[in-house]
Chain A
Amino acid sequence: MATQQTQVLGRALLTPAVALLFIWMIVPLVMTIYFSTLHYSLLDAEAWRFVGLENFRYFLTDPAFLTALRNTLVLVGSVLAITILLGTPLALLLDQQVVGRSIVRLMVIAPFFVMPTVSALVWKNLLMHPVSGLFAWIATLVGATPIDWFNDAPLLAVILIVAWQWLPFATLILLTALQSQDEEQKEAAEMDGASALSTFIYLTLPHLARPITVVILIETIFLLTVFAEIFVTTGGGPGLQTTNIAFLIYSQALIQYDVGNASAGGLVAVVIANIVAFFLVRIVGRNLEA
């Protein structure tokens, strides 16, 4: 069906998008690579010089980098664990017969649509404030001492905020997957006398393996670069306790104006993200009919 004319037209229509994305990807990347080899500070822009891989050596051996890397891994790992361990039972629950299910689903999905700066500030002030926050009040109700979240457990506080934002995403995807599960297979298992637990372990869980993988990969891509939540609540502190890689690069670039070092850090971030992206693109590609 694809005539020569359609082919030519097709290519013409595709070119602008491909060209734009190509420029968008390649120009900043090449500039980042170039800057990463320079000693270049915006505070003293005249004094730039070529330093080879010096910035990478500095960035990778900087204790701040190791701290930031650890914080990034803890943040990503914890949020993934929370969203999947809570999202799976929640999706199973919403897949049951529930009175008013659509309303419950609206409530569960809502956090995903709240802009990051709002969720971070509402959690920090209205919920987690050590004196007047809702959590502090609940703690005193049960006779516990309120936690001073942003002083005593700042990284945990950020993790909880981010997990709250991403729980709807995990739940919604797992729910979508559950609803495409073969009902007859489940019925057959039940008629053969399989318990609810073994139906779950041998039928539902394998069915969820793929969507869970997809949730892990997509969330990881976004969670590696959590920024706004840290920016408005802790500014990376106290000390470096909530500085992740993204925030470290930001502070080197726009607070210390160290272009060379921030660029080297940026490339490190690109490499880390690409490792995850590699697996995600493969999974998507296997599913794609073009």
Chain B
Amino acid sequence: MARRVTARRIWVSTAAAWLFGFLIFLPILWMVLTSFKTELEAFSMPPKFLLFHWTTENYVTVQERSDYLHHAVNSLLIAGGSTLIAMIIAIPAAWSMAFAPTQRTKDILLWMLSTKMMPSVGVLVPIYLIFRDFGLLDRRAGLVMILCLGNLPIVIWMLFTYFKEIPKDILEAARMDGATIGRELVYVLTPMAVPGLASTLLLNFILAWNEAFWTLNLSTSDAAPLTVFIASYSSPEGLFWAKLSAASTLAIAPIIILGWFTQRQLVRGLTFGAVK
């Protein structure tokens, strides 16, 4: 039975929701608009909303003067590499806990969760010194390692909750028919797990792409991903708003688009099954 909702009520909630949504989105919209202005118009008062001289010169300048692409590639390699390695370590672990649980499985899961709650800043000193002594400062490999370990608990947790949803009966049926564990894994489990694997991959890629504690502290130029590159715009005040906006737009656009596909998984991945 559908609830009776008057047309007036729909109209009111629609107007309110759009207003709220627009206000929340405004900073991003304003940034994108500014990226197409000249530096002079970006700074002009009163601000120009749509009637300005549209230009793409900022995007060209950002690439030519500061080698945007180099940092974008770093972001891609660091976020992609750390996520892939985390998946390789996490898939067997999650499989094991979901399909061959022991009495200690629950404790292990909760312990893994608790490692995620260790504040990064608490171990900044030793990590920094280890990185310095092993020559890992400003190296992509070092960041891949740190971000991989940092996100590993979330990856395992997400995969675990997805694997748990796969009905065990199907696995048992496969076993009855004489499938080995290897075959079971390849022909039965993997196809059913693909959606879960994909969203885990996506969400953790996003988290790693946006990570801004270790990247800011452990890289400066060669290995610097976009988070650090954007931070370099913080020193000169004022004059580079349009370029800052262009660089920022480039840095967040792909992630926002990916993020919109993972809204549902966001809740699952960040609440550890505590909200359903």
Q: Is B216 an interface residue (CB 8 A)?
A: yes
Q: Is B190 an interface residue (CB 8 A)?
A: no
Q: Is A32 an interface residue (CB 8 A)?
A: yes
Q: Are A16 and B92 in contact (CB under 8 A)?
A: yes
Name B residues whose Cβ lies closer than 8 Å to a Cβ of A. Answer: 1, 3, 5, 9-10, 13-14, 16-18, 20-22, 24-28, 30-31, 34, 43-47, 89-90, 92-93, 95-97, 99-102, 105-106, 108-110, 112-115, 117-130, 149, 152-153, 156, 164, 168, 172, 181, 206, 209-210, 212-213, 216-217, 226-228, 230-231, 233-234, 238, 241, 244-245, 248, 251-252, 255-256, 258-260, 263, 266-267, 270-276
Q: Is A172 an interface residue (CB 8 A)?
A: yes
Q: Are B124 and A253 in contact (CB under 8 A)?
A: yes
> Chain A contacts of B45 at CB under 8 A?
131-132, 136-137
> Chain A contacts of B130 at CB under 8 A?
28, 31
Q: Besides the contacts A2-B100, A116-B227, A121-B244, what 10 more A-B pairs have beta carbons closer than 8 Å?
A: A14-B92, A18-B93, A24-B149, A96-B10, A97-B9, A98-B10, A110-B260, A125-B238, A173-B271, A253-B125
Contact among B181, B212, B266 with A116 in the assembled complex (CB-CB below 8 Å): B212
Q: Is A47 an interface residue (CB 8 A)?
A: no
> Chain B contacts of A65 at CB under 8 A?
none
Contact among A115, A218, A285 with B106 in the assembled complex (CB-CB below 8 Å): A285
Contact among B44, B119, B129 with A246 in the assembled complex (CB-CB below 8 Å): B119
Task: Knowing A93-B16, A121-B233, A274-B117 are in contact, say whether A28-B30 is a contact too (CB < 8 A).
Answer: no
Measured CB to CB, the closest approach of chain A to B180, in angstroms, equals: 10
Q: Are B263 and A14 in contact (CB under 8 A)?
A: no
Q: Are B17 and A29 in contact (CB under 8 A)?
A: no
Q: Is A203 an interface residue (CB 8 A)?
A: no
Task: Knowing A113-B255, A115-B230, A232-B231 are in contact, say whether A287-B273 is a contact too (CB < 8 A).
Answer: yes
Name A residues whose Cβ lies closer than 8 Å to a Cβ of B. Answer: 1-2, 6-7, 9-11, 13-14, 16-18, 20-21, 24-25, 27-29, 31-32, 35, 90, 93-94, 96-101, 103-119, 121-127, 129, 131-132, 134, 136-137, 164, 167-169, 172-173, 176-177, 180, 183, 187, 190, 210-211, 214, 218, 221, 224-225, 227-228, 231-233, 245-246, 249-250, 253-254, 259, 262-263, 266-267, 269-270, 272-274, 276-277, 280-281, 283-285, 287-290
Task: Knowing A97-B10, A126-B34 are in contact, say whether A266-B252 is a contact too (CB < 8 A).
Answer: no
Q: Are B124 and A250 in contact (CB under 8 A)?
A: yes
In the bound assembly, the distance between CA atoms of A102 and B45 in angstroms comes to 35
Q: Are A167 and B106 in contact (CB under 8 A)?
A: no
Contact among A13, A137, A183 with B96 in the assembled complex (CB-CB below 8 Å): A13
Contact among A94, A117, A129, A250 with B121 in the assembled complex (CB-CB below 8 Å): A250
In the bound assembly, the distance between CA atoms of A90 and B23 in angstroms comes to 12
Measured CB to CB, the closest approach of chain A to B81, in angstroms, equals: 16
> Chain A contacts of B119 at CB under 8 A?
224-225, 246, 266, 269-270, 272-273
In the bound assembly, the distance between CA atoms of A287 and B271 in angstroms comes to 11
> Chain A contacts of B238 at CB under 8 A?
125, 129, 132
Q: Are A17 and B93 in contact (CB under 8 A)?
A: yes
- Show 20 A/B contacts (Cβ-Cβ < 8 Å), sorted by A: A10-B99, A24-B115, A31-B126, A32-B125, A99-B10, A105-B263, A108-B20, A113-B260, A114-B252, A115-B255, A118-B251, A122-B27, A172-B263, A187-B3, A218-B271, A227-B212, A227-B216, A249-B122, A266-B119, A284-B274
In the bound assembly, the distance between CA atoms of A21 and B27 in angstroms comes to 38
Q: Are A126 and B121 in contact (CB under 8 A)?
A: no
Q: Are B126 and A17 in contact (CB under 8 A)?
A: no
> Chain B contacts of A29 at CB under 8 A?
118, 122-123
Measured CB to CB, the closest approach of chain A to B210, in angstroms, equals: 4
Q: Are A126 and B92 in contact (CB under 8 A)?
A: no
Closest A residue, CB atoms, query B242: A126
Measured CB to CB, the closest approach of chain B to A77, in angstroms, equals: 18
